[in-house]
Amino acid sequence: MRKSIISILTLLAVVLVVSCSDDDNKAAVKYKLTVTVNLPSDINAADVTDLKVTVKNQSTQEELIADVANNKAEFTLAGGEYNIMASGSAGKFAINGSKDQVGVYADTNISIDMVSAVSSGLIIKEVYYSGAPLPPYYVTDQFIEIYNNSDKVQYLDNVMIGVVMYMNSKTAVANQPSLWVDGQGNLLDRYPIYNYLMAFPGTGQSYPLEPGKSVVVAQNAVNHHAQNPNSPVDLSNADWETFVPGKGDTDNENVKNLDVIYGNGLAQKDFAMGLFINPLIIAKLPEGTTPADFAADESNFMAEPTTGRSDLYIMIPSKYVLDAIDIVDGSDAVNYKHILNVDDAGIVKTPGSFTGKSIRRKVVSIENGRVKYKDTNNSSVDFLIDQTPTPGVQPTTVDE
């Protein structure tokens, strides 16, 4: 009896060894991925430097980087789904491109069309949107900080702030491919704004922002930490706040209010950013067009595709975007982009909600106290996640 048990165990062990090595063999199969990068037409190939391709395995998060030679980068990869990102620079231009959810289950060739961008003067330095640690449920302490990263005075007048619609409004499912696509499945070149579109008031040069200066825009300009010790911020000294009249929103009379330009049928009590997914843009219309003019033109509105809902969304053209961050929830297995590569070639994967943490742009240099932030139009590499919020405070050390 004992002997037969031992031989059964031995047999099991052999089976286990055999099946393990079988699995190892399967995992060991590798495929060749060749990525061809197509440079933007306005970029001279001779000016391009630091051209690299990064591939990231979506399940293991393993990352590989290869230099581009003769417009190609090659990888040897285990089978799986990959996010692929190409980046480089050409003088004052950052060039970027990406492709998500590329399945590599055989030798594979793909090409990426790159886009060029010059950093705008006004950038989003920091965003805190994730909510204070629970309990209690406390999410009114959100803020956005806008910084002048250029060497010239920039004007906040008529700069608009909006969250790009990131969910199916009928099912309330957030993490799914955007509905706002063309017949080929590509994101539209204008963005539907969720909830409220807000804008700075002013007549053109009413609100100058000097180089190296910032403004904090609070959802509510109050001392949140005093109201809820779990909230990391005191926003009572914010420069601006979002105030929606007639909805029971609070108004700190010492802090200037942004204008409400439009609220759609889902309009809430206040301008609220997404707690999990938060594709954020700041934009400015051409000289002479005010946000109110824009909102008076019905061709600038669209209903949500495919769901049959009639609520209209105001659509902000990509060409007017100053800065954008495609923030996704890193705890989701798969993430979807809502912002075009030309505005943000990457995504910021955050650890989720109710963390009391912000995301902040990396500091590339500090000269005579003047901070320069990284803005390659690729938030995957431009931002630090999981930061203790520092509204209105610029770092004193360089991040990279």
Q: Which residues bind Ca ion (CB under 5 A)?
A: 220, 242-243, 249, 251-252, 255, 257, 270, 323, 375, 377
Q: Least CB distance from residue 194 to Ca ion, whole Å? A: 16
What are the residues whose beta carbons fall under 8 Å from the beta carbon of 297, sequence distance 6 or more? none
Q: By C-beta, is 104 or 233 nearer to Ca ion?
A: 233
Q: By C-beta, is 26 or 269 nearer to Ca ion?
A: 269
Q: By C-beta, is 35 or 244 nearer to Ca ion?
A: 244
Q: By C-beta, is 116 or 220 nearer to Ca ion?
A: 220
Q: Least CB distance from residue 158 to Ca ion, whole Å? A: 19
Q: Least CB distance from residue 106 to Ca ion, whole Å? A: 36
Q: Least CB distance from residue 329 to Ca ion, whole Å? A: 21
Q: Least CB distance from residue 118 to Ca ion, whole Å? A: 10
Q: Least CB distance from residue 218 to Ca ion, whole Å? A: 7
Q: By C-beta, is 146 or 167 nearer to Ca ion?
A: 146
Q: By C-beta, is 104 or 342 nearer to Ca ion?
A: 342
